[in-house]
Amino acid sequence: MNAAPLLEVRNLRVEFPTRRGTLVAIDDVSFSIAPGEVLGVVGESGAGKSLTGAAIIGLLEPPGRIAGGEILLSGRRIDDLPAEAMRKVRGREIGAIFQDPLTSLNPLYTIGRQLVETITLHLGLGAAQARARAIELLQATGIPAAEARIDHYPHQFSGGMRQRVVIALALAANPKLVVADEPTTALDVSIQAQIIALLDRLCREHGTAVMLVTHDMGVIAEVADRVAVMYAGRIAEIGPVADVIHRPQHPYTAGLMGSIPSISGERERLAQIDGAMPRLDAIPRGCAFHPRCRRAMTVCRERRPELREAGTSLAACWLHDRAAAPAAEAF
């Protein structure tokens, strides 16, 4: 996209100090998201997807800390803001949608009270105006009989309806950016599709940028413009979603794509990636993926690759360095 980035993450490093030393959970991660763009972030559990989102919205669980790099929103640095200033950014400029809607909703208050408080706090509207906007948001997110249901409590809604309320809450103050962390994982497949379509429509209508964290490539293929593939706290590949899915440039991405069933039945056997994601205290030297990679070379075991041009994508792989792999062929 040609638009100036709304979100810029530069060389982000997240650490967890422990008695046995410091664990590096996010290591030199950089990417940007333009206004109205959906960036999907995928990878196995433990890759660092959710931690990256938590760092952006200022909700890292202690003792986790940002130990390096910068996070800029509309050109303004936000990773070093005091807690109170970041609280104002979160909600007003950045909306958050989490996997379990019950973690975002207070069971003791009606959803109307929670929406009205958020709208009043960030937009400065009066009580009547805020309630009217809350009802509009519930209607926009597909809550039937919104005028009546606004006074219901979270436990009176189904899981899918609660997630719609959370989306309404995330969009209440017209944020510039929405960080959605596994927003459909706990829902039935049919409800998942509705929620993703809803999020996609609402954000595109308002020009909101979205960072969509998920392990579901089907969701990414449906709504994302670009996709970042993470492995062991780093970005292995980032590029246009269709190109990354159909022409992966990193062996890890190729393995992920090969493990997806084909509806047409073209693929007789699914590929698998042997081994498991390394623990934070046992990340190997060189490329972290090399112990599981069938195409690993000597350089992969010795030196860590940086992101470099690979077709329309960027891939952190020595196979795209002519000096290291002069005879490298496409995946």
Helix, strand, coil tally for the chain in percent (to 5): 35, 20, 40
- Average model confidence (pLDDT) for the chain? 91
pLDDT at 1: 45
**Cα–Cα distance, 182 to 47 (Å, whole number):** 14
Lowest mean pLDDT among 29-33, 78-82, 99-103, 222-226: 99-103
Q: Residues 260-287: what's their mean pLDDT?
A: 79
Question: DSSP label at 284?
Answer: P
Long-range contacts of 55-62 (CB under 8 A, 24+ apart): 55/12, 55/14, 55/26, 55/79, 56/7, 56/9, 56/94, 56/177, 56/179, 56/211, 57/90, 57/94, 57/96, 57/179, 58/83, 58/86, 58/87, 58/89, 58/90, 59/90, 59/96, 60/14
pLDDT at 188: 83
Do residues 177 and 33 touch, judged by C-beta distance below 8 A?
A: yes
pLDDT digits (tens, 9 = 90+) for 176-193: 999 999 998 778 888 888
pLDDT digits (tens, 9 = 90+) for 54-84: 999 999 999 999 999 999 999 999 999 999 9
Assess whether pLDDT exceeds 90 at residue 205: no
Q: How confident is the model at residue 12 (pLDDT cuts 50, 70, 90)?
A: very high
pLDDT at 237: 98
Question: CA dihedral in degrees (94, 175, 41, 46; nearest 10)?
Answer: 30
Residue 128 to residues 63, 116, 123, 134, 172, Cα–Cα distance (Å): 42, 9, 13, 10, 15
Question: CA dihedral in degrees (153, 155, 158, 162; nearest 10)?
Answer: 60
Q: Give the strand pairing for 177-181 and 226-231.
A: unpaired
Assess whether pLDDT exceeds 90 at residue 26: yes
| CB neighbours of residue 245 within 10 Å | 18
Assess whether pLDDT exceeds 60 at residue 265: no
Question: DSSP label at 268?
Answer: S
Q: How confident is the model at residue 258 (pLDDT cuts 50, 70, 90)?
A: confident
Assess whether pLDDT exceeds 90 at residue 17: yes
Domain ranges for the chain? 36-44+82-224, 231-320
Assess whether pLDDT exceeds 80 at residue 30: yes
Find the DSSP H helices in the chain: 49-56, 83-92, 111-123, 127-140, 146-149, 159-170, 189-206, 217-223, 241-246, 251-258, 298-302
pTM: 0.92
Lowest mean pLDDT among 47-56, 167-176, 190-199: 190-199
Assess whether pLDDT exceeds 80 at residue 3: no
Upstream peptide bond of 63 is cis (omega within 30 degrees of 0): yes
Q: How confident is the model at residue 264 (pLDDT cuts 50, 70, 90)?
A: low
Q: 36-44+82-224 — its CATH code?
A: 3.40.50.300
Beta bridge partners of 308: 315
pLDDT at 270: 64
Q: How confident is the model at residue 262 (pLDDT cuts 50, 70, 90)?
A: low
| CB neighbours of residue 273 within 10 Å | 18
pLDDT at 295: 92
Assess whether pLDDT exceeds 60 at residue 326: no
The contacts of residue 282 (CB under 8 Å, 6+ apart) are none
pLDDT at 4: 86
Q: Residues 80-108: what's their mean pLDDT?
A: 91
Q: Residues 250-254: what's their mean pLDDT?
A: 95
